[in-house]
Amino acid sequence: MSVSQPLNVTDGGPRQVVAGLMDRARVAMDAFADADQARVDEAVTALAWSIYEPGRAEELAALAVEDTGLGNVASKIIKNQRKTFGCLRDLMRVKTVGVIEEDPAKGLVKYAKPVGVVGAVSPSTNPAATPVNKAMFALKGRNAVIVAPSPAGLATTTRTVGYMRAELKKIGAPEDLVQVLPAPVDKALTQALMEAVDLIVITGSQNNVRRGYSSGTPCIGVGAGNVPVIIDETADFLDAAEKIRMSKIFDNSTSCSSENSVTILGPVYEQAMAALRQVGGYLCNAEEKEKVRQALWQGGKLNRRLIAKDAAVFAREVGLPEEAAKCDFFMVEEPLGAVGKDHPFSDEKLSLVLTVYKAPDFPTAKKQVTDVLNFVGMGHSVGIHTKDQDHARELAEDLNVVRVLVNQAHTFGNGGSFTNGLNFTLSMGCGTWAGNSISENLNYRHFINITHLVREIPEDKPSEEDLFGAYWGKYGK
């Protein structure tokens, strides 16, 4: 299939470029405004097929790694297909056109309406899958979307958008329902888009999220990841270790949901560490740990030569022994409480490095993961490997996170899974704890406005005694 490219709209400054895209987006929305649910779902399916088709899934995965230098092809193929398939499953089960809910008892009828033109800011870590994911959500609500790529992922995102447009053309839908900012993409052009659209949805750098929220346009941003997990004394250690390995190595830890630290309860520390080594973890000694620290952070920032790289490349660049290069990921032990700016291993590492803490008991482990999240990652998520559901409930009750995953590979479960009830997404809202406007996985509901038809019902007015009686009885009038 040939790639359908947008027209050349690069003449003029950022505002003029964006104005041209916006005009075309609104024309496309007008042409799509009367689409019924079946037609909308057909368009959403077309977008899904644009990246799910095996040849394109592989091509875009390879291009993404070549384009950005981040992650690995095999994982990105899985991401392109699994996330898209799961998202399509979710979207085919919901209604977004016309009446979407009726409540006769309350006299309410709810109608779904588009939010308008969506500006979708996408990250370099997912330059293909995230734009498709957001475009599917947008079109499900009969909106148009303009994608703002990361400059590092521009070639991949541009080709991805071209495939989406080609599929829309194939079914006779307006191609301009999906557009992409033209090269060269920079902060000025992305800022102009943020100020022009009706809704901004941002996945990626926290700098972009802050700019989106200050743009004057309604904005949905997501928070930073730095997922800590706990292994308690009741866990199945080999199962926990394998799930942590699978999650940690997926796409070389580019996911915000990748485990960055594990806190193990003291009585089972040796057993859990043995399981982690058994599944492919390499435990760095003190000298090797220092080599990792010096190499991974350069001038206080993560070294792009090491983030999201294969284990063999990481080991060679750091100067780890041949034994380490044959392993899947690298573990560094840190003292309990070693959290904050002076302890970089407590931060998000975007690499195959897993920080390990030893806690004497569960309350101390809970405090440790809380301290980690208070430093970086508040609101995002935490995981626990346990057979003690009271431990899981305690984390959910006491920690300021949106998601608590139990006995799951975090990267595969946090953004939706076929074995949990979370919505499939590539954008995880982290609540006001992280300065976000949503505290759930980004989904189709964020891409529709709702009109309420309100009819009168029999009066539903309790007496004063009903409402104040208990208060009066306890405190008087």
pLDDT value of position 204: 84
User: Please, which residues have CB within 8 angstroms of residue 89's CB and are 6 or more apart in sequence?
Assistant: 424
Please give the Cα distance from 233 to 5 (Å, whole number). Answer: 56
Helices 269-278 and 237-249: crossing angle, nearest 10°?
50
Catalytic residue among 256, 284, 327, 430: 256
| pLDDT tens for the 477 residues of the chain, in order | 556 554 444 557 999 999 999 999 999 999 999 999 999 999 999 999 999 999 999 999 999 999 999 999 999 999 999 999 999 999 999 999 999 999 999 999 999 999 999 999 999 999 999 999 999 999 999 999 999 999 999 999 999 999 999 999 999 999 999 999 999 999 999 999 999 999 999 998 888 899 999 999 999 999 899 999 999 999 999 999 999 999 999 999 999 999 999 999 999 999 999 999 999 999 999 999 999 999 999 998 999 999 999 999 999 999 999 999 999 999 999 999 999 999 999 999 999 999 999 999 999 999 999 999 999 999 999 999 999 999 999 999 999 999 999 999 999 999 999 999 999 999 999 999 999 999 999 999 999 999 999 999 999 999 999 999 999 999 999
Q: Model pTM? A: 0.94
Sequence ranges of the chain with CATH classification 3.40.309.10: 227-414
| 88 and 136 Cβ atoms separated by less than 8 Å | yes
Count CA atoms closer than 13 A to 56's CA, side-chain side. Answer: 26
Rounded CA-CA distance 235/269 in Å is: 11
Structure confidence at residue 4 (pLDDT): 58
Residues of the chain with CATH 3.40.605.10: 14-222+442-453
Please tell me the CATH code under which domain 227-414 is placed. 3.40.309.10
Residue 1: per-residue pLDDT: 52
pLDDT at 112: 98
Amino acid at position 81, single letter? Q
Q: Looking at residue 205, what is its pLDDT?
A: 84
The sign of the CA dihedral 405, 406, 412, 416 is negative
Annotation says 256 is catalytic? yes
CB 468 within 8 A of CB 441: no
Contact 402, 430 (CB under 8 A): yes
Looking at 1.20.1250.20, 3.40.605.10, 3.40.50.970, 3.40.50.720, the CATH number of the domain 14-222+442-453 comes to 3.40.605.10
CB-based contacts of 415: which residues, under 8 Å, 6+ apart?
A: 83, 255, 257, 422, 424, 425, 426, 428, 441
